Structure 1
Amino acid sequence: MFFWVLILAFNGCSTDLTHEGNDKVNGTWSLINVSGGFAGVDDDFEKGKIVWKFNAADGSLTVTNNDASSAIYNGLPSGTYTYSIIKEKDQYYLLLNDKEIGGVDVAKSQLIIDQNITTSGSGADGFVLVLIK
Structure 2
Amino acid sequence: MKKVVIIALSCFFVLSNCSVNDSNPTTPQKVRYLWHLVAVTGGVAGIDEQFSLNTIVWSFDDATKTLVVDNKNTDDTIEDGLDSGSYGYTVADIDGNTYLSIEGNEYGSFEISQNILTINQNLKSTGSGTDGFIYTYQVEAVAVD
Q: TM-score, normalised by structure 1?
A: 0.78
After superposition, what is the alpha-carbon deviation per residue over 1:75-133, rounded to whole angstroms, capped at 9, x for unaligned?
Answer: 10000000111000110000001110000111121000000000011000000000011
Output the CA distance in 1 between the equivalents of 2:128 and 2:78.
22
Output the CA distance in 2 between the equivalents of 1:117 and 1:38.
15
What does residue 19 of structure 2 align with? none
- What's the RMSD between the two structures over aligned residues? 1.2
Once superposed, which parts of structure 1, at least 4 consecutive aligned residues long, lie more than 4 Å away? none
1:119 equivalent to 2:125? Answer yes
Question: What is the percent sequence identity of the aligned residues?
Answer: 35
Output the CA distance in 2 between the equivalents of 1:67 and 1:45.
9
1:43–1:71 contact (8 Å) kept in structure 2:
no
1:96 equivalent to 2:127? Answer no
Task: Structure 1: state its 5+ residue gaps.
Answer: 1-25
What does residue 81 of structure 1 align with? 87
1:57 equivalent to 2:63? Answer yes
1:34–1:129 contact (8 Å) kept in structure 2:
yes
Output the CA distance in 1 between the equivalents of 2:119 and 2:134.
6
Output the CA distance in 1 between the equivalents of 2:76 and 2:88.
27
What does residue 36 of structure 1 align with? 42
Output the CA distance in 2 between the equivalents of 1:62 and 1:89.
28
Give the number of aligned pairs: 108
The one-letter code of the counterpart of 2:42 is G
The one-letter code of the counterpart of 2:102 is L
Residue 70 of structure 1, CA deviation:
5.3
> Relative to structure 1, is the Cα distance of residues 120 and 127 closer, same or farther in structure 2, using a 3 angstrom cutoff?
same
Task: Structure 2: state its 5+ residue gaps.
Answer: 1-31, 140-145
Output the CA distance in 2 between the equivalents of 1:63 and 1:112.
16
Larger radius of gyration: 2
User: What SS is found at the alignment partner of 2:83?
Assistant: coil
Residue 73 of structure 1, CA deviation:
0.7
Output the CA distance in 2 between the equivalents of 1:55 and 1:28.
10
Q: TM-score, normalised by structure 2?
A: 0.71
Output the CA distance in 2 between the equivalents of 1:62 and 1:71.
22
